[in-house]
Every structure is written in C-alpha cells, then in structure tokens.
Amino acid sequence: MRLDIAKKAVAVGLGLALLAGCGGDGEQAADGPVELSFWAWAPNIDKVVDKWNATHPDAKVVVSKQAQGDDLVTKLLTSAKGGNPPDLAQVEYQSLPTLVSNDVLADISEGAASAKDKFAPGIWDQVTLGGSGVYGVPQDSGPMMFYYRADLFEQYGLKAPATWDEYAQTARDLRAKAPDKFLGTFSSNDPGWFAGLVQQAGGSWWSVDGDAWKVSVDDAATKKVAQYWSGLIAEGAVDKAPMYTPEWNKALNDGTQIGWLSAVWAPGVLQGNAESTLGKWAMAPMPQWDASKPRTGNWGGSTTAVTAGSKKQKAATEFAIWLNTDPAAVEALVTESAVYPAATSGQEAVSKPPAFFPNQPDFYTQAAKIAATSSGFTWGPNVNVTYTAYKNSMGEAITAGTDLVSVLTKMQTATVDDMKANGFTVGG
C-alpha cells in the first residue's frame, strides 16, 4: 500500500503540489559543477562533508548549521513556503511525515531505494512511512538498551533482567534491600522514550487504511506498556521523577538511580550528567516481553532528506546515499560527529567502546546485535501534538495516582482531532 499523504493534502484542498520525484521536471541540467545547500546540526558534520567535496568536484556541498527538533521543522516549512528551501536537510524520523504532508520533502525512491539493504528493516521502514516512497536516507539511530550500575548490582546480588517480569521483580528486590534506591523511573516529560517502549511492545501509532489515516495511540501494545508502568508506580517499585532534571542527575551520580532504560547514545549523557560514576555502568539488551523474539525500540535518530523544492535532487540524493553508506563517510560520522550510524556496516565497524564504558569492550558489538532487532514504526503528520498531549497529561495522572492508560485516550483524541482539523481523513 502506498502512503501518498501529500496527494491526500491536495485532495482536501490545502493547495499543496504533488511530491516531485527524484530527477523530476525541476531538475537542474548537469551543466558544470552544482552547489548543494545542506542544513544539519550534527557536530562537526562539515568535516565529514569536506571528504565529499574533496572527491566530488562536480557537486560541492555547503553546510549550514541549524538547531534541531521543532525549530528546524518550522524553519524548513517557512523556507519551502517562501520558495527557498535548502537542497538537503538533516531531519529526525518523527518529523518526516509532517514535512512530507506539507510538500517539503521529495520522494527519492528512484535514486535511493537501492540503499534499502544497507539498513535494518525497522530503520528503513521509518523513511518509507509505510509505503513505497522514500523520504530520506537513514543517518543515525537510537536503539534502546538497559544501562545499570554493575558495582551496585553486584553489591545487592542482582542481575540484569532479561524480561519485563524480571525487571519488575528486580525493582522490587532492590527496594526491599535498599529502600533509598530505584531501578529506574517513569518519565512523564519524555514522550520519545515512551514511544520507544511502545515500539518494542509492537505498537505503531499511525498507519494508512485505504485512503484514510488510522491512529492507534491507544492500541493494545501501548495499553500494555502503560498498564505495566502504572502497576510499578502504584506499588512504589520505581521512581516517578522526570528525567533530565537536576534531581535526576544527582540520583544518577549518588547511586539513588541504579538503572536507566535509554538508547545507544546514553554513555554521552551519563558522562555529562554523572561523571563520578565512570566505569561503573554496564549495558545489556532491553528486557523483553517475549524472550524468544528479541526486539528493541528506537529513541532518537535522524535522516538526510532531499527537499521537494530542490532543482538538484539527483545530485542531492547521491550525496545523501554517500554520506550514510560510504565506509569512509560513515566512519567519519562516528569519529567526527559522534553519532551511532544507521548503516549496518557502520555499526559493525565500530569497535572501541565509549570512553565512559572502559569495562565493556564489546559494547558496540552488542549494540549492533541489539540494533538489528529494531522494530518498525510509522510516524504520523502531527507527532508534536501527540507528544504535547503526553507531556500535559502523564504528569497529572502520576500526581493524581490514576491509571496511565487513561492518558492514552487523551493522546488519541488530541491526535485525531488535530488531524481532522488540518484536513486529513482519519478512519476508525
């Protein structure tokens, strides 16, 4: 089934043009060197691009450093509306549908589909939006893992939980042995974290059913995750303090929090927020719902996308593929930009463990195996609305001591209402 959400936007009268295919009518003739503008935020990405420029004199890429997240989405929407978008942009996975539905990004399937085998299926699914189009080349990913204080686990006679049942019991055992400590926390201000847990459980919040969107924020998998954490919070087995606060940082430093469900980029955060615990942490796969079918979700990650307004889509697509699949380019992304590459070959090539994990030399070997189990997920055109509903309602539910499942209804309603208000057809 092809997901042509831009075409649907035209159908509902939003005045948007159909997506331009790679090498479409607006393609600039290959008459002399071309210059490609590239909006990105990854640190030192310009040093990686220098390698392209040194070997591709016919297509010079010029980097413009930008803020990420919603700020970049807003800027891309504005530039496209004004008729002056960049040729390429670094775009987070969850932002792709918003930009595609507003005719900002090009379908580059003609030039990029051959790169599919370079990535885990679950990662590639996120740039196709569940259809045959390709709206970006995966750049980096954030497979989720479980981090724990190995020294304190040994002190309290604990082992890394392999299943969610074991995680719950480990949390209870820790509280019984050390009432001042927690195995983890449920964070009401991190919808991306929650979405990653839902992905692992098999949930997918958006899909296409015929000519209509289907929204499933309150599906069975999401309810299972919410019910699980509701139970742990109610019995006091886990903390309920938000992440990324001074209090949370202190808890990581002083051993109050001895576990963290996070992503492959966690070592950098731990180094910045809990420097005194260097060498005391270990990484293990996420606890599983079904240990015989290991899966993980993704928290974070981005793509290199080509804009629909670019007159140089063919050259831009070639650069996007090179940046994220060429061995030298991917190695430079790792060493210069400190990203975890989405390309499978790049993940397998990373061998030296993070500086914060000198005690786990096989860190990236294990990370590559975990990344290969990434679940697919289709993002929708208003992820920001869903995330805002999460942040507005989860904290209230936790404070009131109510079941977190009730929040899913609010997230579902907010998401559907916003899509309908913006002209999308949403089915039941």
How many other CB atoms sit within 10 Å of the CB of residue 128? 21
In a domain? residue 369: no
Asked if 42 and 113 sit in the same domain, the reply is yes
In a domain? residue 253: yes
Task: Please state, in angstroms and rounded to a whole number, the distance separating the CA atoms of residues 63 and 89.
Answer: 9
In a domain? residue 366: no
Asked if 108 and 180 sit in the same domain, the reply is no
In a domain? residue 94: yes
Asked if 288 and 414 sit in the same domain, the reply is yes
Instruction: State the total domains in the chain.
Output: 2
Site of tokens 């006091």: 236
Whether residue 221 contacts residue 198, with contact meaning beta carbons closer than 8 Å, is answered with yes
Lowest model confidence (mean pLDDT) among 231-245, 340-354, 410-424: 340-354
Asked if 286 and 398 sit in the same domain, the reply is yes
The domain of 72 spans: 34-141+301-349
Report DSSP state, residue 100.
H
Asked if 170 and 259 sit in the same domain, the reply is yes
pLDDT in tens, 205-220: 999 888 889 999 999 9
In a domain? residue 217: yes
- Does the CA dihedral 275-278-280-283 come out positive or negative? positive
Whether residue 222 contacts residue 201, with contact meaning beta carbons closer than 8 Å, is answered with yes
Beta pairing, strands 34-40 & 59-65: parallel
Site of tokens 């719950």: 168
Whether residue 329 contacts residue 323, with contact meaning beta carbons closer than 8 Å, is answered with yes
Which pLDDT score is estimated for 127?
Answer: 95
Averaged pLDDT, 136-144: 96
Asked if 261 and 391 sit in the same domain, the reply is yes
Asked if 194 and 293 sit in the same domain, the reply is yes
pLDDT in tens, 14-48: 333 323 333 344 455 556 689 999 999 999 999 99
Beta strands in 264-410 (DSSP E): 281-285, 298-306
pLDDT in tens, 311-362: 999 999 999 999 999 999 999 999 898 899 999 999 988 888 999 999 999 9
Asked if 327 and 255 sit in the same domain, the reply is no
Domain final residue pick, 349, 367, 388? 349
Enumerate helices (H) and strands (E) in the chain, giving the number of each.
18, 9
Task: Please state, in angstroms and rounded to a whole number, the distance separating the CA atoms of residues 167 and 255.
Answer: 18
User: What are the start-end ranges of the H helices in 274-376?
Assistant: 313-325, 327-337, 344-349, 363-371
Asked if 293 and 309 sit in the same domain, the reply is no
- Angle at 56 (CA atoms; ends 51, 57), nearest 5 degrees: 115
Task: Please state, in angstroms and rounded to a whole number, the distance separating the CA atoms of residues 286 and 203.
Answer: 16
- For the entire predicted model, the pTM comes to 0.89
Beta bridge partners of 343: 119
User: What are the start-end ranges of the H helices in 56-190?
Assistant: 70-81, 96-101, 109-112, 121-128, 150-155, 164-177
In a domain? residue 157: yes
Whether residue 268 contacts residue 275, with contact meaning beta carbons closer than 8 Å, is answered with no
Asked if 128 and 153 sit in the same domain, the reply is no
In a domain? residue 84: yes
pLDDT in tens, 64-76: 999 888 899 999 9
Q: Compute CA distances 247 → 197, 242, 302, 419, whole Å.
A: 23, 9, 29, 37
pLDDT in tens, 101-115: 999 999 999 999 999
In a domain? residue 96: yes
Q: Give the CATH number for residue 120.
A: 3.40.190.10
- Could you tell me what percentage of the chain is helix, strand and coil, using 3-state DSSP and rounding each to the nearest 5? 45, 20, 35
Asked if 103 and 194 sit in the same domain, the reply is no
Asked if 387 and 241 sit in the same domain, the reply is yes
